[in-house]
Amino acid sequence: MLVKRLGRVAYSEAYQAMQDFTAQRSLETPDELWLCEHPPVFTQGLAGLAVHVHHAGDIPVIATNRGGQVTYHGPGQVMAYPMVNLQRAGYFVKEHVYRLEEAVIRTLAHFGVTGHRVANAPGIYVRLADPFAHNALTGPATPGDPFKGLGKISALGIKVSRHCTYHGLALNVKMDLEPFQRINPCGYAGLQTVDLFTIGVNTTWEEAAEVLASKLTPLLSP
C-alpha cells in the first residue's frame, strides 16, 4: 500500500481526487492510503439529515456520498483515506470497517488509551472518566443513552465503487472541538466528542498520523 502524506488540503479537493482515483484505477492499480487534514468543514453522509446541523455558522456544509450522518473535520484531526480494492484484498465491506476500527484501537493503545466499539455505532469511543483503563465495556448499553460515560474520538464513513473503497476515518488529535457542539455528531444528539489532548495525551499531528498509518497498512493489505 502506497502511503501519501498530503498535508492540509481542502475537503472538496480531496473528495474529488478520491473519486477520480477510484474511477480511473485498474485491477493492477496499487492500493493507496492518503493522510491529510482539512480546514474547518462539516460533511454529510448519504442519509444525512439537515436536523442534525444546529447552526453551521461560518463553517461550510458539504454533501458527500459516504455512509453515515454529519461530522466535523478541522485542523488537528488526522484524516486517513484508504483506497482499497476489496476484491483483490479478499474481504468484504463489513470486514473493512472492522479493520479500520481495529487500526484506531491499536493506534490509541500505542498512546496508552483504550478504545472501544459500540454496537451499531461505527467509530471508536473512550471512557471519559478513565481513558487509560483497560477493562472492556460490559453489559447492555444504558437504555436511551448508549454513549453514557463515553466520548467519541474517531469517526468513519466509507464508499465502495467497483469493489474499491474510498473516504475513511478521522482521528481527533489536538483540535478545536467547539464545532462538534453545532451538530449531532454522527446523528447522535448529546454525543460528546473528544481528542487525544483533552484526555491527557499530548502528541503531534505528525506522530499520530504515522502511528495510524503503521497500524492501517498491515491490516488493510491483502
User: What positions carry a catalytic annotation?
Assistant: 186
The residue among 55, 62, 60 whose CA lies nearest residue 167 is: 62
Separation of alpha carbons 101 and 51, rounded Å: 27
Beta-strand relationship, 150-161 and 71-73: unpaired
Phi, psi torsion values for 45, nearest 5 degrees: -80, 175
Q: Are 112 and 201 in contact (CB under 8 A)?
A: yes
Q: What is the DSSP letter of 129?
A: S
C-alpha cell read off for 3: 502511503
Separation of alpha carbons 185 and 192, rounded Å: 8
Q: What is the DSSP letter of 190?
A: T
